Amino acid sequence: MAPTPNPSISLAAHPVGYPDLGKDFKYDTSATIDVDSGALNGGFLTKTLYLSVDPYMRNRMRDGGLGGWKLGQLFEGFGISEVLRSETDQYKKGDILYGTTTFRAYNVWPASAPFRVLHNTENIPLSVYLGVAGMPGKTAYYGLRAIADPKAGESIFVSTAAGPVGQLVCQLAKAKGLRVLGSAGSDEKVRFLLEDLKIDAAFNYKTTSTEEGLKKFGGIDIYWDNVGGEMLDAALEAMNKFGRIVLCGHISMYNVKTPGERYGIKNTYSLLYKEVKMQGLYVTSYEEKYSDEFYATVPKMIAEGKIKYLEDVTEGLEHAPNALLGVLKGDNVGKAVVKVA
């Protein structure tokens, strides 16, 4: 059998500000792989089906960033892969796997590589296991469960509400009997929040200030912060007594050129006088405790139509850099995934 092309995406330069499509990524088509008989050395061979592009990747591209990638290193991220051949009992031919993979069409893994076999008895589209049924959905589920402590009758404000984290936070909060306010960066996203997710109120933060949006809605018991900066400051001001703030993301500052460009929060006095709790969330910390519960709950709710989702699918590995830039600039409408095969 002729060698099969095995294209990949790697880091060519550390970006300054927003990633530069012409400079910071390398799409390499020179490698090939013998899919039928190449050595597995006791491991297994996978074909990449879908890849997730996520905001955290911008931090991995930073020079010296936390868990940062080295120049020339393959991009890594959550993906859905199919096992083509296996020499380990752990995974068998045809298994569909979820887990961290490389941005490459085919990969040979050692037997110890940690993946979750997706049985998908709910029969939902596989790409959804990268969105509301994947890492972003887990972020929403775990953060509500472990930090936000939502109670019926309370109110919650969710920023970046139309993304996969926000979509699930909004819907789980609504199902629990909370009043939900969402913000997003376009009228199309606001319409999705109001008409499809049926949350109570939503505004386009590019045409309505967060202060105004919050004033109209009234005080909030929970702020789900996907943005940081000025929006967090405005939310601090609008918190009710004994409110909770979940610090989930700071996307307004991921692309600053220097740390000095980051926004300095002014309204922390609110934490003091209103006895508000503010806590950071890191999804991986809760994986062991809540992942079984998550997989038993969320895919079923999606299959039953109780959880809706919106995806933004890009076709072709070579377009993954554009998809990532789109996420960082807010061009994605729904969960950004790349269909590789």
Ligand X SMILES: NC(=O)c1ccc[n+]([C@@H]2O[C@H](COP(=O)([O-])OP(=O)(O)OC[C@H]3O[C@@H](n4cnc5c(N)ncnc54)[C@H](OP(=O)(O)O)[C@@H]3O)[C@@H](O)[C@H]2O)c1
* Nearest by Cα to 58 from 335, 317, 251: 251
248 scored as a contact of ligand X (CB under 6 A):
yes
- Which tokens is 265 given? 């929060």
Query: Judged by CB under 6 A, does residue 163 bind ligand X?
Result: yes
Spell out the long-range contacts of 17-23 with Cβ–Cβ below 8 A and sequence spacing 24 or more: 17/255, 17/256, 17/257, 18/255, 18/325, 18/328, 18/329, 19/58, 19/61, 19/321, 19/324, 19/325, 19/328, 21/321, 21/322, 21/325
CB-nearer residue toward ligand X: 31 or 256 = 256
134 touching ligand X, by CB under 6 A: no
Q: Which stretch binds ligand X (CB under 6 A): 156-164, 212-220, 235-243, 296-304?
A: 156-164
Distance CA 249, CA 158 (A): 11
- Interface residue with ligand X among 282, 289, 292, 341 (CB under 6 A) is 282
Which residue of 97, 132, 165, 323 would you call a contact of ligand X, by CB under 6 A? Answer: 165
What number of chain residues touch ligand X (CB under 6 A)? Answer: 29
> Binding string, 311-340, against ligand X, x = CB under 6 A?
----------------x--x-x--xx----
Q: Are 116 and 140 in contact (CB under 8 A)?
A: no
233 binds ligand X (CB under 6 A): no
Nearer to ligand X, 44 or 157 (CB): 157
Site residues (CB under 6 A) for ligand X, limited to 46-65: 54-56
Residue ranges in 70-129 that form contacts with ligand X under rule CB under 6 A: none
Contact pick of 189, 243, 310, 314 for ligand X (by CB under 6 A)? 189
- Tell me: does residue 298 bind ligand X (CB under 6 A): no
Considering the complex, what minimum distance in angstroms separates the CB of residue 76 from ligand X?
15
User: How many C-beta neighbours within 10 Å does residue 332 have?
Assistant: 23
Residue choice 249, 276, 307, 338 for contact with ligand X (CB under 6 A): 249
SS3 276: coil
* CA atoms of 167 and 172, how far apart (whole Å): 9
Q: Are 161 and 199 in contact (CB under 8 A)?
A: yes
Binding to ligand X in span 167-186, by CB under 6 A: 184-186
Per DSSP bridges, beta strands 44-52 and 106-109 are antiparallel
| Residue 252 engages ligand X in binding (rule: CB under 6 A) | yes
Determine the straight-line distance between the first and last CA of the chain, rounded to whole angstroms: 20
CA distance 91 to 97: 9
Interface with ligand X by CB under 6 A: which residues? Answer: 54-56, 136, 139, 160, 162-166, 184-186, 189, 226-227, 248-249, 251-252, 281-283, 327, 330, 332, 335-336
